[in-house]
Structure 1
Amino acid sequence: MISDTPSLRQRWLGAKLAELRLAAGITSLAVAAEKCRRSTASLSRIENGLVGIPPRDIPPILDAYGVTDIGVRDKLMVVAAEVQQERRGWWVEHGDVLAPSYLDRIRLEATATAIWTYETSLVPGLLQTEAYARTFVSALAHFGSVAELDDFIAVRMERRAILVGPKPVVMRVVINEAALHHPIGGPEVFRDQLDHLSKVAESPHVTLQVLPFTGRPNPGLFGAFTLLRLPKLDVVHVETMNSDAYIEDERGVAQYVSAFDLLCDLALSPEETALLLAESASNL
């Protein structure tokens, strides 16, 4: 059974509608509800992100607030549709054992058109083998960050499905060279992990680069991050040991886009990266 905690996009949609109401000069929720022909309680729950709203109900609210910008209207309609889809994904059966913030990540990945990720000392979760993931996640379980290890690993493996199929997500990956010097799981497990990286990098929809050790300051020094490029709402994800943080404002996201582009410029080319992965595997 899925968690009742509102998803990130559901909360964003509610906050955006509240912002548009106030921008229209309607400070009273009761007045707004009358204009929208909804109950005050219903509109309050929508704005607080407690409930979703069908896409068909978005235009009447925007009409009531005098929102004519086609771009804004289209964006809210798309996000509303994505919120509806979130309750029908494969992750629903795991909702009672996963943190709400982690469920947000899975939901966002499932509808992303592109994922750009930078990792400092680990192989990104979407590119991990099961053995590598189990070794690493076991450490989190020791600190109580993972409630059910087997379920968590199963979810991590299922997440990889977005990389295959008729419409795989486009993925750009930059991994700090430090990750190649952390043979998590031991030589055999890590060799298999490096081989898996090499195979994934051969896919036309995946670009893999290694950021070599350098004395030059770069935005990667601030830590790992992932850019989730969605149809109408780009989000930055930052993972901690026991939670997930998200950046949604356009200015903040734009800063991470620029940072990622710079990391790609500083990193080895995909061809050079392939050679380095092969060399690292042979040295184990």
Structure 2
Amino acid sequence: MAGTNPDRGVSVSTVLGRRLGGELLRMREACGLRQAAAAEALTASVAKVAKMERGLVPMRDPDVRALCHLYGERDEQAIGRLLELAKTDRGRRKARGWWNQYPELRAMIEYVALEDIAKGVRTWQGAFVPGLLQTPAYAHALAVGNAEWEDPDEIERFVAGKMARQGRLADDTPLDLWAVIGEGALRQLVGGREVMREQLAHLVEAAELPNVRVQVVPFLAGSHPGLSSAFSIVSFAETGAMDVVYMETTSSTLWLESQADALSHGMTFNRIVRNGLVPQESIALIDGIRREL
């Protein structure tokens, strides 16, 4: 588990580097080699290999290719995916992502960088509408309510950054989003009635996208596994790539990157889904609440 503290600055490439290093570590262990063998192949120290596998240093393409060959990987497509990940990681370390126009995103920057190359996201939110589905007015009202901002211009830039994220839902390779939302988030009057009417209408509209699934866990579900925390599970297209779990607290962000954590949260997500309404009934509930307003 790793965390980032916004007061210490954010290394936006950390998760990407750890993911690449973790893939190479898995490949090395699968063929029974020690770090010393990898170090010899790279004419490097064992300490450097350890740093690479922990995602602490950027990886050069020749090093990635050499390690793939050492570990018996001959599939050029598989190697190409790792090379692309290494390239993306190097770019993130140089802070070249669009999100760097929005320093107000702060601790979210690392997550946004990862979301940018993800295949899918499963998210559970009991208290508010997930960021990828928020309207500008709703996002603005949340930011004001959090009382984190003193400068109104900062709030506007923060909201603009959140809206820019939503481009992933409609780009050339759109993100698959499965959002499960607690009924309380739909009834909380964030920004007032008009803002919530607009937000709920937007949810109904977004759910019509082929890559977006929206479900609601109603109050009638009673106690369920999602009451204690909210989280997002980020998945990738590469075969064998592990999911990454992202959680926010009031003071930091948490990344859960082990296979055990990914499986555990995946099962928890599925249990939450079983307590929810099917998509058609969820949309009917959302629209019903909108009409009540």
TM-score, L = length of structure 2: 0.80
1:214-241: CA deviation from partner (whole Å, max 9, x where unpaired): 4654221221111111123421111122
The equivalent of 2:276 in structure 1 is: 267
Selected match of 1:90 from 89, 98, 102: 98
Cα distance in 2 for partners of 1:15, 1:115 equals: 20
Q: Which residue of structure 1 lines up, in the alignment, with residue 165 of structure 2?
A: 159
1:68 paired with 2:72, answer yes
Deviations 1:126-167 (A, max 9, x none): 1111111111112334378x9932222111010011111332
- The equivalences for 1:72-151 within 5 A come to 74=79, 76-77=82-83, 79-86=85-92, 87-94=95-102, 96-99=103-106, 101-142=107-148, 148-151=154-157
Aligned-pair Cα RMSD in Å = 3.2
Tell me whether 1:8 sits opposite 2:15 in the alignment.
yes
Aligned pairs, number: 274
TM-score calculated relative to the size of structure 1: 0.82
Indicate if the aligned counterparts of 1:138 and 1:149 stay in contact, CA closer than 8 A.
yes
Percent identical residues: 31
What is the 5 A alignment of 1:1-284?
Answer: 6-14=13-21, 24-26=33-35, 33-38=39-44, 46-47=52-53, 49-63=55-69, 66-68=70-72, 74=79, 76-77=82-83, 79-86=85-92, 87-94=95-102, 96-99=103-106, 101-142=107-148, 148-214=154-220, 216-231=222-237, 232-284=241-293
- How far apart, in 2, do the equivalents of 1:19 and 1:278 lie? 47
How far apart, in 2, do the equivalents of 1:83 and 1:5 lie?
9
Please give the alpha-carbon distance, in whole angstroms, between the structure 2 residues aligned to 1:250 and 1:3: 24
Q: In 2 relative to 1, CA 70–247 (structure 1 residues): closer, same or farther, beyond 3 Å?
A: farther
Structure 2: any 5+ residue segments left out of the alignment? 1-8
**How far did residue 51 of structure 1 move?**
3.0
Shift of 1:10: 1.1
Q: 1:61 to 1:123 in 2, by over 3 A?
A: same
3-state SS, counterpart of residue 111 of structure 1: coil
Q: Which amino acid aligns with 2:187?
A: H
Kept after mapping to 1: 8 A contact 2:118/2:235: yes
Change (3 A) 1:256 1:279: same
1:60–1:149 CA distance, 2 compared to 1 (3 A): same
Which residue identity is paired with 1:163? L
Quote the offset at 1:20 in angstroms.
7.1
Aligned CA distance change for structure 1 residues 89 and 207 (closer, same or farther; 3 Å): same
How far is the alpha carbon of 1:47 from its aligned partner?
Answer: 4.9
**Counterpart secondary structure, 2:116:** helix
CA shift digits 1:193-248 (9 cap, x unpaired): 11111111111211111101246542212211111111234211111223211111
The gaps in structure 1 that reach 5 residues or longer are: none
- Distance in 2 separating the partners of 1:209 and 1:4: 33
**Aligned in 2, Cα 1:279/1:92: closer, same or farther, shift over 3 Å?**
same
Distance (Å, rounded) in 2 between the aligned partners of 1:68 and 1:220: 42
For residues 47 and 215 of structure 1, what CA distance do their matches in structure 2 show? 43
Over 3 Å counting, the alpha-carbon distance change for 1:237 and 1:44 in structure 2 is closer
Q: Matches of 2:229 and 2:281 in 1, distance apart?
A: 23
- On the 8 A contact 1:175/1:209 being kept in 2, the answer is yes
1:227-270 CA-partner distances (Å, limit 9, x unpaired) = 11112342111112232111111111011112222222221111
Q: Helix, strand or coil for the counterpart of 2:55? A: coil
